[in-house]
Structure 1
Amino acid sequence: MHPQAPRRTTHAYGTPKNRLVYDRWGRFGRPIVLLHGLLYDRTMWWPVAAELSHTSSSVIAVDLPGHGDSARRGDYDLGILTADLAMLINRLELHRAPVLVAHGESALLAEAFAAEYATRAVLTVDEPPGEPAEDLEQHLATADLGAVPEPYRQFAVPRRDATLLQAYRCWSATQRKRPRKVSPSGFPHLSEPVAFAGNLSDLI
């Protein structure tokens, strides 16, 4: 008889002003930290996390500030958020370097984290182009759900909030240092979550 996969639990870290909300599957093993792109939230990782819950890892899906259930902030500085993410991971007391998986703009956060803290690996998908989108509609136009099966599209519903997108423009200087080929976002973690989780487990 195989052990039952761990259930998802929801937690919060920080004060009301800098609260980060995250879901967690499992309490032991290699930490795998899942970061969503701008205007989405942690639920975009649920299908992959459900598959990873069968592995010897502890999976954490975090809401970026202002997204999902995490608090909005007055300052979205990348360095501050990197330090907050490090403190969140440290309080989990797993004592192993995490694997960071980042969608869209959160690739910048994952790479900033890896430059400062012990990290097992960084995997990024649908990285942003070198220049940030001019407006909300341009940002949303880069997403292509064509390859995502209908049941999984509910996990890729963006928050149509132009003020939130504007608040994160402080990351744009970092983006300009990292030119990227402009291409539609394909959401590979939702197109084939089982295969994606399988590939990710090889990094554990």
Structure 2
Amino acid sequence: MQPQPPRRSTHATNSPLNRLVYDRWGEFGRPVVLLHGLLFDRTMWWPVGAELARDCTVIAPDLPGHGDSPARTDYSIERIAADLAALVHDLQLQRAPIVVGHGTSAWLAIAFADTYATHCLLTLDEPEDSMPATVDKLVASAGLGTVPEHYRPFAEPRRDPALLRAYGEWKAQPPTRRLAVAGGVPGPSGAETAFSHLSDPEGFAGRLRALL
């Protein structure tokens, strides 16, 4: 008999004002928090979550206003980082997480690591300076051409200008803080491409596994 694939379960935090919907794989081990970029959703991490599930606890949330997480009034990077920290704390795994940020959520991952206990930080395709001004520019810069056809359903952006405007203040984060934190946290050797978690989920999961 073949073993069953790791089971993904979906949960929501209990705060009615700052609710986050997230998927979870695994029950034990170090938490690994996977953050999708703006306009995408948590499904982009499904292949990697399944690869890692037997080695750790994988958490992939929808950011506010994305996927199944409802919109809110406070989209500040500090507020969302605090909500993620509360989510990790409530898992009661007693270990600092690995935090992975894709695209614009690299800034969120770095803000998290700047304030909360973090075992390791990995960013993919962090914007060089500020957030693209329009949805079309953000999508054009995302590097979707590297995603294999069979994984494209996991990388479908939501083309919503109002959602992008809601996160507009993220581009005002001080670059010196981001660079200082990013430079001080070890990561796997070799550069990660924008969608390496979808172009090579097994290899990407292996590099994360080495950091556990």
Answer yes or no: same fold by TM over 0.5: yes
Instruction: Tell me how far 1:175 sits from its aligned partner.
Output: 6.1
Q: Does 1:187 align with 2:195?
A: yes
Cα distance in structure 1, aligned partners of 2:165 and 2:64: 13
Q: Which residue of structure 1 aligns with residue 38 of structure 2?
A: 38
Cα distance in structure 2, aligned partners of 1:170 and 1:14: 26
Unaligned runs of 5+ in 2: 180-192
Cα distance in structure 2, aligned partners of 1:201 and 1:96: 15
Q: Which runs of 4+ in 1 moved over 6 A?
A: none
Q: Does 1:73 align with 2:72?
A: yes
8 Å Cα contact 1:132-1:175 kept in structure 2? no
In the TM superposition, what are the counterparts of 1:2-41 in structure 2 within 5 Å?
Answer: 4-41=4-41
How many residue pairs get aligned? The number is: 198
Cα distance in structure 2, aligned partners of 1:138 and 1:49: 29
Residue identity in the other structure for 1:17? L
Instruction: State the Cα deviation string for residues 61-98 of structure 1 (Å, max 9, x = none).
Output: 01100001111011111111111111011001000000
Residue identity in the other structure for 2:28? F
Instruction: State the Cα deviation string for residues 117-176 of structure 1 (Å, max 9, x = none).
Output: 111100111111302212111111112222221111110000011000001011111165
Cα distance in structure 2, aligned partners of 1:125 and 1:169: 20
Cα distance in structure 1, aligned partners of 2:107 and 2:47: 23
**% identity of equivalent residues:** 58
Instruction: State the Cα deviation string for residues 41-73 of structure 1 (Å, max 9, x = none).
Output: 000000111111132x00010110000111101
Provide the TM-score with structure 1 as the length reference.
0.91
Give me the CA root mean square deviation: 1.8
Q: Which residue of structure 2 aligns with residue 132 of structure 1?
A: 131
8 Å Cα contact 1:32-1:99 kept in structure 2? yes
